[in-house]
Amino acid sequence: MKTAVKNTLMILILMLGCTSITHGQNALCLSHKENLSVIEPYDIEVTFDKTTHLLFPSGIRYVDLGSTNLVASKAEDAGNVLRVKASVRDFEEETNFSVITEDGSFYSFNVSYNSCPRVTNYSLTKTVMSDRGWSSKPILFKELGTNSPNMVDELMEEIYKQDKHFIKQIGTRKFGIEFLLKGIYINDDKFYFHTQIKNSSFVSFPIDFVNFKVVDKKKAKRTVVQEVTKNPIRVYSAIDEVEGKTVSRNVFVLDQFTIADDKVLRIELHEKNGSRLQVLEIKNSHLLKSKLVKKPHTEEDLQ
């Protein structure tokens, strides 16, 4: 009799223990779910005979299609416009695709087929993002370190808006073009170079490209010149041309680096289909005097 009672008590204790563990696991799962931020997908329709266009607030960096029933590509000369259409007619199962933009935003779409969709053009504004829960923490890009793309863009914007000119001796003026380095800033192991182009002539200056490279200070005759290219990882504005009698400024972001005393950093401004090359030379001492920049709350933050 005593043995039977003991066995019964043991069974009850085990049952209560299992129930407690189950409740604990459920509570843990609920706790994890409450910490998750759900990104609601946007529903769109596509067809085989028409192209759907999506306009994003920033340039498109990455696209992932859920199935081969879709084809997508960026529009030519418009990096923030995505073209999507069906690759086969009348597909039945719903599919999806995702987009990451240069400002670090993530977008999700559910896609179904409609032979005659009511809407074929979509504008993804910041308001739409907020309404649909797309205002979560931005995606971090490896080349930008711990700073989000939005933060880097805001720092460039502040440098551009403040328009300080604390480097006075680095500039060139020829062929009616003045090319200046107005300042060097630093944040999170990234250099921010603030430049200005002034066209004093009536002849427009089409820009082919701007490059940064470390070269020897003095080029001895019959010696091999060693060059190390430093590629910008982000640019404030894509400037294609400086029209006559106008001024254009820009901000270039590069990974932090230093250079030896016998070398200089050259910033070369190349004219498209022309020979009005502009060159700036920056010493290591200028890099070491770069100013700290942060997202300012007051005007003193950039001083």
Tokens 């999700």, located at residue: 108
CA distance 279 to 210: 10
Q: What is the largest CA-CA distance in the chain?
A: 111
Output the DSSP codes for 97-130: EEEEETTS-EEEEEEEE-SS-S--EEE--HHHHH
Tokens of 41: 């997908």
Neighbours of 272 (CB within 10 A): 11
Closest to 178 in 3D by CA, of 249, 236, 253: 249
- Looking at residue 134, its pLDDT comes to 52
User: Which of these ranges, 14-23, 71-80, 230-239, 247-256, has the smallest mean pLDDT?
Assistant: 14-23
The tens digit of pLDDT for each residue in 73-124 reads 998 888 899 999 999 999 999 999 999 998 888 999 999 999 999 999 999 8
| Topology, domain 42-139 | Immunoglobulin-like (2.60.40)
- Looking at residue 114, its pLDDT comes to 97
Neighbours of 36 (CB within 10 A): 7
Q: What angle do CA 162, 167, 169 make, to 5 degrees?
A: 145
pTM: 0.69
Architecture of domain 149-302: Sandwich (2.60)
The tens digit of pLDDT for each residue in 157-209 reads 999 999 999 998 999 999 999 999 999 999 999 999 999 999 999 999 999 99
The tens digit of pLDDT for each residue in 253-290 reads 999 999 999 999 999 999 999 999 999 999 999 999 99
Domain boundaries, the chain: 42-139, 149-302
Examine domains 42-139 and 149-302 and report if their fold is the same: yes
Say yes or no to pLDDT of 22 above 50. Answer: no
